Amino acid sequence: MRHVAVIGSGPAGYYTAEACQKAFGDEVRVDIIDRLPVPYGLIRSGVAPDHQSIKAVSKRYEATALSDNVRFVGNVMIGRDISIPELVERYDAVVLATGAPHDRALGIPGDDLPGVIGSAAFVGWYNGHPDFADLAPVLDGPGAVIVGAGNVALDVARILAKTGEEFAGSDIVAGALAALGEHRIGHVTILARRGPHEIAMTPKELGELGHLARATARVDPADLPPVEADAALEPGLRKSVTHLRAFAENTADAPITIDFDFFAMPVAIEGDGKVERVVVERTELDSSGRATGTGETYTIPAGLVVSCIGYRTPPLDGVPYDAKLGRFANEEGRIGPGLYAVGWARRGPTGTIGTNRPDGFMIADHIAADTTGDSGKQGRAALDALLAARKVDVVTFRDWQGIERAEIANARAGAPREKFTSLDAMLAARDPA
């Protein structure tokens, strides 16, 4: 019997559990440990609430969780309730699937002013993550500036621009929905250091900006390369650029405008005790495709700045860490004897949700190569004894199902659920024993 502990219940964690099931059959026991009482990580708290089709992948994880050899161990925090060395001592393999939940800092003057928010925090707020339930972003300023050229930037812009009616069928939390319904932001600017051919935005997400009830997406035609240059792009990027070219033809007035500002990077954020404007420097691409400043600057009025420039995995005591890349130091997922990393914790915040599946299978192969299955370690029995001795209030998958039923019962009309946004509310919603 192999005993495997997976830290983190997002896509990387569940794909790793699934891979271990396929690799070892009945001869494996997998414990998926999470600090929250609710599973699914990025799917619950990171995927946009109006992208329910993407969130449906959680049904696959549920099937894994309901199998006999995988269990969810929620409300258990590494470093508070148990340490990594203690887990390595008790399990044949410990897999860090903690994701990259911390925002990368902008690193420019004024990035600590009230009104500057990282995308992990902003997305967590409208998705009901308990860490960000009290965020209260500034939504009444002269405008919003979003920094980044990926899909998260598009998510933030779309969420800011939508009407309440357009959130029908989503699981955006009630507090965020109410705040967004009252905001007076009329102008959203998306800053991209490089040009349209260098974006990381996908066609589907870009296309959604063209169908908003009260918003118009715009691109300066001067920022677009010659149309014949699009032929060299890979098909997905070419479709994305086609959307940008359509936005460049938009002339209709709308209550909210979403302007793509290419070849632009923020160099300072200014204001008297709060964000009031963003200083932007015009850029150009050098021979290697890197964006370099030209010295030309201008300002954009804004009361809200959302940074969507990437994420970092938080370090853990006793685990080698690559501070430059913002992830655990590893060799193809191997950190040290009995210790592995998977998903964003292994490779950094790159790839899609599906990218984590082959990652999980790679780690299962490593575990098969590195272990014999007869180490004598006790795995979950030893974990249960330790957590019981420390009086940790463990949340099981059955408990989560009770929480989920309560969220579904509390949903507004047409919504799939109304998420609890506090740990106390989650714990109180468990079915009575």
Q: Would you call 56 exposed, middle or buried from its count of C-beta atoms within 10 A (0-12, 13-18, 19+)?
A: exposed
Which tokens go with 358? 């082959």
Known binding residue 193? Answer is yes
Q: Cα(245)–Cα(224) distance, rounded to whole angstroms?
A: 7
Known binding residue 78? Answer is yes
Q: Which residue has the tokens 């420390």?
A: 390
Edge-first strand order for the sheet with 256-261 is: 116-118, 304-307, 144-147, 187-191, 256-261, 215-219
Known binding residue 387? Answer is no
Known binding residue 194? Answer is yes
Known binding residue 353? Answer is yes
Q: Cα(260)–Cα(87) distance, rounded to whole angstroms?
A: 48
All residues at 6 or more sequence positions from 330 whose CB lies less than 8 Å from its CB, including other chains: 320, 340, 341, 346
Known binding residue 149? Answer is no
Known binding residue 42? Answer is yes
Alpha-helix runs per DSSP H in 162-212: 174-182, 203-208
* Contact criterion met (CB below 8 Å) for 309 and 148: yes
In 319-379 the beta strands, taken as DSSP E runs, fall at: 321-322, 327-328, 334-336, 339-341
Q: Cα(57)–Cα(66) distance, rounded to whole angstroms?
A: 15
Known binding residue 304? Answer is no
Q: Which residues are annotated as a binding site for FAD?
A: 12, 42, 78, 344, 351-353
Q: Which residues are annotated as a binding site?
A: 12, 42, 78, 193-194, 205, 344, 351-353
Q: Which residues are annotated as a binding site for NADP(+)?
A: 193-194, 205, 351
